[in-house]
């Protein structure tokens, strides 16, 4: 038993792995992570860009696909789907043993669809149809258009990982979209699952820059506190939303809560603890998806305790103090959303360009 097992068994939080590489699948590394207590996997366009462009692992399959006349775009999705299907197979026992609570693998729609509700909806449907497995999450960005798509997709019975959430107002919209979608679905609600991926460390990166620019003692004293406080406040919103008569009516039909998922949990500032975005965010019915270095750090010296809702009033006071110091958290959320969408799009475009060059060389 590892600390990762204890995280779930004792405190109800699921540790997931925020990375996926083909060599991990073929070598048994991913299966070993599952043995150590990992209960799910998340991927994104940047992860696949690094995996595919950074190694020759995919060259044989890519060469075969291009040789058969497939386009670069179709070849990319075929390679990605191959990895996702293999990862789903490895995580399926976790899914079955947990009665559908965990064992999920997440695959994101193309990042250039982030501002297009219709194409996002169509793409997510197509991915669920192409990979018809109960432990697949299709990731949809929490742009305004994406939130509309989530309501439609959940209403059709699809399991969705809503990603790139940076602010509390948008988080409230995401939860509402999930619940409204469930209310409109006339099928078996127990087959629908969802997580809301609240990005954490990037918030401190952006807010700390603004606090440094303000430069007062009060502002500087708040560095490194905003992200955790905002995530804790989000958990308080989760507890309030998934209770009461409206939710109870859905729960009686078998509905599952949309768990908050803490993403972007590697520590960007070396002055901060390497488990800063894990230790204070532990609580039941939540997920923390971590890159392998953060998983190793938590397993080695992380703190096992229910921490995320120990003092929600203190979390809200911290956010008030940050606002009083002069940081507009609504603007922070807007900036980070734009940056997140642009970053994933850039990774995707760079990968497609490198694959186009490689395809030309093969031809």
Q: What is the mean pLDDT of residues 26-36?
A: 97
Model pLDDT, residue 45:
86
Indicate whether 201 pLDDT > 90.
Answer: yes
Dmax (CA) for the chain in angstroms is 64
H helices of the chain, in order, are 3-11, 22-27, 29-36, 45-53, 59-67, 72-97, 117-130, 144-155, 168-184, 201-214, 217-220, 226-241, 244-251, 292-301, 312-325, 329-362
Tell me, what's the pLDDT at 75? 92
CB 114 within 8 A of CB 145: yes
Chain-centroid distance of CA 68 in Å reads: 34
Q: What angle do CA 350, 355, 357 make, to 5 degrees?
A: 100
pLDDT band (50, 70, 90) for residue 354:
confident
Q: What is the pLDDT of residue 51?
A: 85
pLDDT at 50: 86
Q: State whether residue 239 is helix, strand or coil.
A: helix
Could you tell me the CATH number of the domain that includes residue 264?
3.20.20.70
Distance CA(335)–CA(338), nearest Å, equals: 5
Mean pLDDT, the chain, as a whole number?
Answer: 96
* 70-112: pLDDT as tens digits: 999 999 999 999 999 999 999 999 999 999 999 999 999 999 9
Q: CA 191, 149, 105 angle in degrees (round to 5)?
A: 45
What is the token pair recorded at 71? Answer: 């386009």
The confidence score (pLDDT) of residue 303 equals 93
Q: What is the CA radius of gyration of the chain?
A: 20
β-strand pairing of 194-199 with 160-165: parallel
Residue 289 pairs with which residues in a beta bridge?
16
Residue 167: count of CB within 10 angstroms of its CB: 22
Residue 285: per-residue pLDDT: 98
Q: For residue range 305-332, what is the model confidence (pLDDT) as tens digits?
A: 999 999 999 999 999 999 999 999 999 9
User: Mean of the pLDDT values across residues 46-69?
Assistant: 88
362: pLDDT strictly greater than 80: no
> How sure is the predictor about 359, in pLDDT bands with cuts at 50, 70 and 90?
confident
Going by the DSSP 8-state scheme, the letter that residue 142 receives in this structure is -
pTM of the model: 0.96
Contact 109, 128 (CB under 8 A): no
Known catalytic residues?
A: 139
Q: Are 192 and 151 in contact (CB under 8 A)?
A: no
Domain that holds residue 237: 3-362
CB 194 within 8 A of CB 162: yes
Collapsing DSSP states into helix, strand and coil, what is residue 298?
helix
Q: Are 12 and 307 in contact (CB under 8 A)?
A: no
* Cα 91 to Cα 105: distance, rounded to the nearest angstrom: 8
Q: What is the DSSP string of 26-88?
A: HHTHHHHHHHHT--EEE--HHHHHHHHHT-STTHHHHHHHHHTT--HHHHHHHHHHHHHHHHH
Domain count, the chain: 1
pLDDT at 168: 98
The 3-state DSSP class for residue 291 equals coil
pLDDT digits (tens, 9 = 90+) for 246-303: 999 999 999 999 999 999 999 999 999 999 999 999 999 999 999 999 999 999 999 9
126-149 confidence digits (pLDDT tens): 999 999 999 999 999 999 999 999
Give the C-alpha separation, 134 to 191, whole Å.
8
**How far, in Å, CA of 108 to CA of 143, rounded?**
14
Instruction: Please list, residue by residue across 244-277, b when 16 or more beta carbons sit within 10 angstroms of its beta carbon and e when fewer do.
Output: eeebeebeeeebbbbbbbbbbbbbeeeebbbbbb
Mean pLDDT of 11-30: 96
């Amino acid at each position: 038993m590892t600390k990762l097992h204890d995280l779930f068994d004792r405190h109800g939080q699921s540790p997931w792995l925020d990375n996926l590489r083909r060599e991990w699948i073929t070598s048994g590394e991913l299966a070993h992570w599952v043995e150590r207590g990992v209960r799910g996997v998340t991927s994104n366009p940047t992860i696949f860009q690094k995996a595919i462009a950074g190694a020759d692992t995919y060259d044989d399959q890519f060469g075969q696909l291009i040789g058969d006349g497939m386009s670069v775009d179709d070849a990319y999705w075929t390679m990605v789907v191959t990895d996702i299907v293999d990862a789903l197979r490895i995580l399926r026992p976790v899914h079955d043993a947990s009665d559908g609570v965990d064992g999920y693998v997440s695959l994101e729609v193309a990042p250039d669809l982030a501002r297009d509700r219709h194409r996002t909806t169509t793409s997510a449907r197509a991915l669920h149809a192409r990979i018809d497995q109960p432990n697949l999450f299709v990731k949809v960005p929490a742009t305004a258009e994406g939130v509309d798509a989530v309501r439609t997709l959940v209403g059709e019975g699809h399991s969705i990982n809503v990603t790139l959430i940076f602010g509390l107002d948008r988080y409230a919209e995401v939860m509402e979209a999930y619940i409204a979608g469930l209310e409109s679905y006339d099928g078996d609600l127990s087959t629908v699952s969802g997580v809301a991926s609240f990005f954490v460390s990037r918030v401190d990166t952006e807010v700390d820059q603004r606090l440094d620019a303000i430069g007062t003692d009060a502002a500087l004293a708040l560095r490194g506190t905003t992200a955790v406080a905002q995530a804790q406040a989000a958990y308080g919103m989760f507890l309030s939303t998934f209770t009461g008569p409206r939710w109870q009516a859905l729960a009686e039909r078998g509905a599952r809560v949309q768990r908050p998922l803490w993403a972007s949990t590697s520590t960007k500032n070396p002055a901060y603890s390497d488990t800063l975005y894990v230790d204070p965010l532990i609580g039941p019915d939540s997920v923390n998806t971590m890159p392998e270095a953060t998983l190793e750090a938590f397993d080695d010296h992380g703190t096992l305790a229910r921490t995320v809702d120990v003092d929600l009033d203190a979390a809200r006071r911290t956010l008030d103090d940050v606002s009083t110091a002069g940081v507009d958290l609504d603007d922070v959320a807007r900036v980070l959303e734009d940056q997140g969408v642009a970053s994933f799009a850039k990774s995707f475009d760079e990968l497609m360009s490198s694959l186009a060059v490689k395809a030309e060389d093969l031809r």
